[in-house]
Amino acid sequence: MQKALDVGLPIVAIVFLVVGGVLGLTVAPADKDMGDVYRIMYVHVPAAWAALLAVTVTFVASLVYLLKNNWHADALGEASAEVGVFFGALLIVLGSIWARPTWGVWWDWDPRLTTAAILLFAFAGYLALRRFVDDPERRATWAAVAAIVAYVDVPILWFSVRWWRTLHQIQNTGESTHSVMTKSLLWNALAFALLYVWFVRLRYRVALARQAEELAEPPETEPAHTPAP
């Protein structure tokens, strides 16, 4: 089962990405205002969803770690956060490329863009925190707290376009989007979701191996001068 997933996931993900690319770049019609440029949506929106999925998994894993004292949850939180930062950075770069020809600027500090930047920096900070704390127990606890607090930004980011005046448009719906465009977007979203699962599985293994390594280390390498909180 593991082996089949290891080989099958990337293949299926790439097939979806290719189909999604063909749909988004050639089959889907151009937009009445944005012409062809709107086709960037087919990678920008899936990147956003993948990033939100990733930090949601980290949020849940952090809760599970703290509530159940489960070390696998700590590894999953770390893995998903890194993949989330990757998709978050991709999201912002793609958004910027899309913004230039449509809005006329690469960037502006509107509430949506600002909360997206905060999300990226918060979870990059989470990863940095993990690197700076040597004691596994303390690292896992602090990182989990940081992830839970940082996750507050997600509902704010999601509703920012409805709560405040923004340059960014609100979420498109099946109603506001042509059906072929919606289908193309869903293919691409599925491709990104599969890529997310593939990435997290790989990164999770790296995290587990590190945990095992830390446990194998002799205990005197642990810093003894800092009292437990």
Partner 1 sequence: MTPAGKKRLTAVAALAVAGAGLVYLATGNIEENLVYYWTPTDLLAKADTVKNATIRLGGMVQTGSKQWNAETLSLRFVMGETPEAGGKTITVVSTGAPPQMFREGIGCIVEGKFDGQIFHADRLMVKHSNEYKPPADVADSHQLYKTLAPETPATHKSGKEDAVRAAPAGTETTR
Partner 2 sequence: MNGTIVGGWEYIWAAYLVTWGSLALYALSLVWRARKAKSGEPQPGSKP
Rounded distance, CA 227 to CA 210, Å? 24
From partner 2, partner 1, none, interface partner of 199 (C-beta below 5 to 8 A by class): partner 2
CB count in 10 Å sphere of residue 106: 11
Tell me the per-residue interface mask from 51 to 90 with partner 1, x by CB under 8 A, - otherwise: ------------x-xxx-x---------------------
Applying CB under 8 A, among 5, 30, 206, 215 the residue interacting with partner 1 is 30
Which of the ranges 41-49, 54-62, 114-122, 155-163 carries the binding residues for partner 2, by CB under 8 A? Answer: 41-49
Which lies closer to partner 1 via its Cβ, residue 10 or residue 211?
211
Task: Decide: is 102 part of the binding site for partner 2 (CB under 8 A).
Answer: yes
168 touches partner 2 by CB under 8 A: no
Half-sphere exposure (CA, 13 Å, Cβ side) for 213?
7
8 binds partner 2 (CB under 8 A): no
Q: Quick one: what does residue 29 bind among partner 1, partner 2, none, with the CB cut-off 5 to 8 Å set by partner type?
A: partner 1
Spatial distance between the Cα atoms of 76 and 58, rounded to a whole number of angstroms: 7
Rank residues 159 and 210 by Cβ distance to partner 2 and give the closer one.
210
Q: Taking CB within 5 to 8 Å according to partner kind, which of partner 1, partner 2, none is near residue 67? A: partner 1
Query: Is residue 152 a contact residue for partner 1 (CB under 8 A)?
Result: yes
Rounded to whole angstroms, the Cα distance separating 154 from 67 reads 22
Q: Does 43 bind partner 2 (CB under 8 A)?
A: yes
Rounded least distance, CB 55 to partner 2, Å: 17
Alpha-carbon distance of 84 to 152, in angstroms, equals: 15
Site for partner 1 in 176-195 (CB under 8 A): 176-178, 181
Q: Do residues 77 and 203 lie in contact, with contact meaning Cβ atoms separated by under 8 Å?
A: no
Query: What angle separates helix 136-150 from helix 41-68, to the nearest 10 degrees?
Result: 130
DSSP string, 36-80: TGGGGHHHHHHHHHHHHHHHHHHHHHHHHHHHH--HHHHHHHHHH
Cβ-based nearer residue to partner 1, 15 or 226: 226
